[in-house]
Structure 1
Amino acid sequence: MTPASALLSRAPERPRPEAALLPGIALALGRVHEACGRARRSFAAWLAGRCEGPVLWIAPGWAAEDLNPEGLLRFAAPERFLFAAPRRAEDVLWCAEEALRAGCVGLVVAELPALPGLTPVRRLQLAAEAGAAEAGPMPAGLLLTPGAGGARGVETRWRMEPDHAPGRTGWRLERLRARQDPPRAWRVEDGAAGLSAHPAPMDGAPA
């Protein structure tokens, strides 16, 4: 049994550095997160604009859609992006793991054709922690998953859907899962002054 004096002497766990998208909306660095929904790529580009250093975007080589540089420009400088197109589905996760461990990029985005298993996600988390100990920018990982998402072992899970109106660009953003924070929803608007977020009712989220 651990002596009481030893328990009392332990320093509290320090909060992790975060990439803040807007007040109240942040993702911990040195960890791996998940985004789903039809606007998950926009969410990834938004996060890229809040992270330091280069961004590695990994997508299967057979993917039919390419990113639009003009769409990226709204969130982050396109010249910061590096792209990889593995030929095998399993190589997407392998590339993400190696890039996170190297600690030479600020964000690794991995577009997945299906939900990953728990073991690969745990490996990614360990790689992100190892990369955070390197001299470069503290990396974060973001898995873009199809459908409603549901990858196990991620730090947070977000869903972003387009919610545009005539003359107005916007999205509905939901934090479906987080280790430290409750589920929440926001209406994100893109105005002349930039992006802004307003609380929205939560429809109910999967665990």
Structure 2
Amino acid sequence: MTAPLLTRQQHCPRPALRLLGTLPFTQARLHEGCGPARHSLAALLIGATRGPVLWITPAWATDRLNPEGACPLTGPDNGPDRLLFATPQRREDLLWCMEEALRSGATPLVIADLPAPPGLTPVRRLHLAAEEGATRGHHRPLGLILTPGNGGAPGVESRWHMAPAHDLDTDRWHLERRRARDAPPAAWHLSGQPGAWALKQT
């Protein structure tokens, strides 16, 4: 007898990190951040986690994250001492470092600032590494790749685009969920500061 295609069992949502208390980022999976404010998106995710964060960036990159400069987005309880930096010399080592970090489960968030979106096979390997890390480490690691332009890495769990929309008196951003396995595309205006964020769907 074959198993029925439909059952009455409830669907159990997968564990997720809630960015700004609302926006779900499924844990033990790989997500993509793109757009001119993608580093700000990464800083917001850092503020939503607890524990060390690994930030991977090419050794040849000229624009690197200033940990103290990220504090206005991560919040006062998330000092620069939480950030660990890896700067591989070779392009192929960027994803290797990320894969090994996710597989260890030693940190809740692994961020890789990439010069271009990876292909489908590396993305699948990173998903598998994050899932393995959730079973062997202290955390259910979330992977975030930062890609230039509009991104486009195939097979990611979700893709987010963030761009500045500041005016004279207010820091404001436009945040879009362009792709997600468990949620439709959507967009928001974000303003405020840690502990007092205002998120308005557009």
Pairwise same-fold verdict (TM > 0.5): yes
**Cα distance per residue 1:31-88 (max 9 Å; x no partner):** 1100000110010110111123210000000000121223221213211110000011
- Residue identity in the other structure for 2:190: V
On the 8 A contact 1:170/1:189 being kept in 2, the answer is yes
On the 8 A contact 1:54/1:82 being kept in 2, the answer is yes
How far did 1:23 drift?
A: 4.5
How far did 1:188 drift?
A: 0.3
How many pairs are equivalent?
A: 198
Q: Partner of 1:109 in structure 2?
A: 111
- 1:126 partner SS: helix
Structure 1 gaps, min length 5 = 201-207
Structure 2 gaps, min length 5 = none
Q: 2:48 aligns with which of 50, 59, 76?
A: 50
**2: CA distance between counterparts of 1:80 and 1:26?**
22
On the 8 A contact 2:43/2:70 being kept in 1, the answer is yes
Q: 1:146 aligns with which of 140, 145, 148?
A: 148
Q: Partner of 2:81 in structure 1?
A: 79
How far did 1:13 drift?
A: 5.1
Q: Partner of 1:35 in structure 2?
A: 33
Q: Partner of 1:2 in structure 2?
A: 2
On the 8 A contact 1:49/1:77 being kept in 2, the answer is no
TM-score when normalising by structure 1: 0.89
**Is it true that 1:161 corresponds to 2:188 in the alignment?**
no
**1: CA distance between counterparts of 2:42 and 2:194?**
21
**1: CA distance between counterparts of 2:49 and 2:193?**
22
**Is it true that 1:124 corresponds to 2:126 in the alignment?**
yes
Higher mean C-alpha deviation, range 131-140 or range 68-77: 68-77
How far did 1:22 drift?
A: 2.4
**2: CA distance between counterparts of 1:197 and 1:60?**
33
**2: CA distance between counterparts of 1:94 and 1:135?**
18
On the 8 A contact 2:51/2:108 being kept in 1, the answer is yes
Could you tell me the percent identity over the aligned residues? Answer: 52
- Residue identity in the other structure for 2:26: A
Q: Partner of 2:135 in structure 1?
A: 133
- Residue identity in the other structure for 1:43: L
